[in-house]
Structure 1
Amino acid sequence: MLLPSEEVETPHITTASYCQPASNVKETYYDCIPLAESRIEVFVSNVAGQCPYPAILNAMIKSSLHPQINFDPSVDSVMTTINQTIRYLANVQACITCCYILIDAEMCKLEFINAGCPSILLYRSESRQIVELESTFDSLSLSSINNDVVCHGEEMSWQPHDILILSPNAITERKSLNGKPYGIDRLRKTIIASADLSPLKSNGGFSQILTLTLWVPPLIVT
């Protein structure tokens, strides 16, 4: 599992995360990199396959992600580069789900490409509604990579107090003692009920159900 060494805190964006490693999940790489006071990128990849390939693949993804972000952090360019990186390993049987999100608080926009990642939720503070950032295309299977593929992202508005929540399938599928799964609806209700808390308090309240939480404080435009 590859994780950032510390949380990000800027005048516009704050992150809070919770991680509980498990032996029965995919190999995960999560990164959150501030590009400026008002811009931040978030990347998540999960690799399923025979060991040690998942860990190796995530390490390769990380090594290609950071130089590309320094050169061109746009959503299309980053995900196209990631796709080109893993296509050279077509002889490795593995399945990769990943998501790249670029948030620009000053421009009030969010751009993303979601390749098979589940449960990426955006809480809209103004309407107190939750929008799902659905997968824009299927997971990246190394056995069927198209060498000429170019990834294209989608754009959404990003407003002060909006919250981005990333969580794995294991959370919504986790069952109680009576065998009932937690479920996406209960996750949504918990997010709405805790949305007014500070990032750390909110994350503490979500500690049993969330992996990553991104929080936006009031945006001040000068």
Structure 2
Amino acid sequence: MTDLILVVEDEPKLAALVQDYLHASGFRTEWLADGRQALERLRTGPMPAAVLLDVMLPGLDGLEVCRAVRVFSDVPILINSARVEELDRLLGLELGADDYVCKPFSPRELVARVKALLRRAQGRLAPVSLVQVGGGFGVDEAGQRVVWRDHALALTPVEFRLLRQLLQQPGRVFERGQLLDLIHEDFRDVSDRAVDSHIKNIRRKLAALPEDAARITSVYGVGYRLDLA
């Protein structure tokens, strides 16, 4: 069965155009125009392969939908919006979006980005093969997961790459520029603040572990260091 893409967009013509391009690439689609309905659909229905999420939606805006979804799912989310300010893009990333495109966008590029998200997500279903990296942490490269003991962290693809890098050399200070290179795969126009947003999310997820297993420390004017317990 082909992958299902949930399109959450309140402009019917744009939604129809996006769906046409997705269908031409072999995807199935489902369309919703209301943010609250989309959140309820994701909470109660079968999880789609990915979500294309507009920001300006009736009922509940896309950023709030993204925030709420990340509580219970790591489904790939691509946000699209006419709000092009850096602050808006960073907020989307901070809330857990995997990618962000600004309107007007090329439908072909949108489909290409969806395919890239799905390629990275496919590994999550592969058999688990953990590489132990110390402090009780293991990295599942195929599944793009980081596991501490029997706890798997719900990481976005970008968060996975950042945490994997930090775990490879605990105690080393990584410059922001080095970490920024790990984000460029997904975002063409990024800044140091994007790194800060993702690190903030990773810190929150590490803090949710039963013990103080690891801590990411800011090194003023340089970057970040991960310390194991």
**TM-score normalised according to structure 2 size:** 0.27
- Relative to its length, the structure with more helix (as a share) is 2
Higher relative contact order (CA 8 A, sep 6+): 1
**TM-score normalised according to structure 1 size:** 0.28
